[in-house]
Amino acid sequence: MSNLQKYRKDFPILDTGIIYLDNAASSLTPEPVIEKMLEYYRSYRANVERGVHRLSQRASEEFERAHSKVAEFINARSKQEVIATRNTTEGINLVASGLNWKRGDRIVTSILEHHSNFIVWQRARTRNALDLEVARLNSDGTFNIEEFQRKIDDRTRLVAVAGVSNVLGTIAPLREIVEIAHSKGAAVLVDGAQYVPHMKTDVRKLDCDFLAFSGHKMCGPTGIGALYVREELLDQVEPLNIGGGTIEDVSLNSYRLAKSPMRYEAGTPAIAEMIALGRAVDYLKDVGMDRIQEHERRLTEVALQGLAKIPNVEVYGPADPKLRAGIIPFNVGKLNPHDVALALDVSANIMVRSGHHCALPLMKEHLCKREGSARASTYLYNTEEEVLKLVSTTAEIARSLA
């Protein structure tokens, strides 16, 4: 990626000598985003949609502008289709709780899913007497589209699938899944937590009905995310919470909710965080999502090639870097993955995640029946040299400990 150094300078924590490869858990936050968040507290700290004074007006303008920026980033038709949430998990729960389920409705998901896009449907099944079907994978960790074709039928109300697996990095064939689902009259929810931060997202081209994602994985602050809801479905999803800020009128005996997104954003929202997410979107657009994806693909290729050469190291997921995002899970011999992650930190300042990655069904059935895996994950500020350091240090760990 050209001008890589320019962007690395925006992340001062990298000056401490760390190699941050835990981006699938949470990305680093650049200075312009931090400054935008501080700008709110320093210059126009006030509640939104609540006052006519200039501080409230300025805060409201910035807050609304951030909604518009996020909507534009995913090519939504309008900001009314974008609801501010705390994170991906809350967005998925909003859909699960808000739809008017009927006994016998079917939900189809996959074994690749993060718990936030899995147990929520198990609970919906129990609460509403639904049918839940789980599509399995191909042996190489790619999606088995025939599984979806078999399981999606005329009773299917919703298909819920991750755009990118948070464990294997597998990229889902979303357009194919959407076409199958829509042909049966089912809606599609995409868990975009690992998708939106790493590749250009166009909800109109994907033709999905719901898309949930988190700000903290895309250079934004914690505590803020977004849920896209196709405009035609807004009236079919009841808010998770109601109260202040969500109503158009109230009488002693009834109330009338406001239009989206206000009807879904009860109480005082995460104002500073939403404004900062808008700045994060600007930042990513400046870098270029196509460039980010291309850069990560190259880093993934380097990691896969390097780790494959190390005896006693097992790497999981598709072998072709074009079929996956920059997420690389691996194990070193019979070592506990937590010990591997700790050794990488202590010996080389390399930060990776370890464990089951909130995907126990996948781990138990497909990946490995042990304490999970170590997981390296890249982003726009990582370099080939850092990935090579990961490979060489893993080789040293394999030689000395495994």
Residue (of 264, 263, 282) closest to 35 by Cα position: 282
- Say how many C-beta atoms besides its own lie within 10 A of residue 143's C-beta: 25
User: What are 287-295's contacts with CB under 8 Å, separation 24+?
Assistant: 287/7, 287/380, 289/198, 289/199, 289/200, 289/201, 290/199, 290/200, 291/1, 291/380, 292/1, 292/198, 292/199, 292/379, 292/380, 293/198, 293/199, 293/200, 293/325, 294/1, 295/1, 295/4, 295/380
The values of phi and psi at residue 106, to 5°, are -110, 140
Examine the residue annotation and report whether 208 is marked as an active-site residue of this protein.
no
DSSP string, 138-181: -TTS-B-HHHHHHH--TTEEEEEEESB-TTT-BBP-HHHHHHHH
Q: Which residues contact 26 (CB under 8 A, 6 or more apart)?
A: 216, 217, 222
Question: Which strand (E) or helix (H) includes residue 7?
Answer: helix 4-8
β partners of residue 225: 85, 214
Prior bond of 261 cis (ω within 30°): yes
Q: Which residues are catalytic?
A: 358
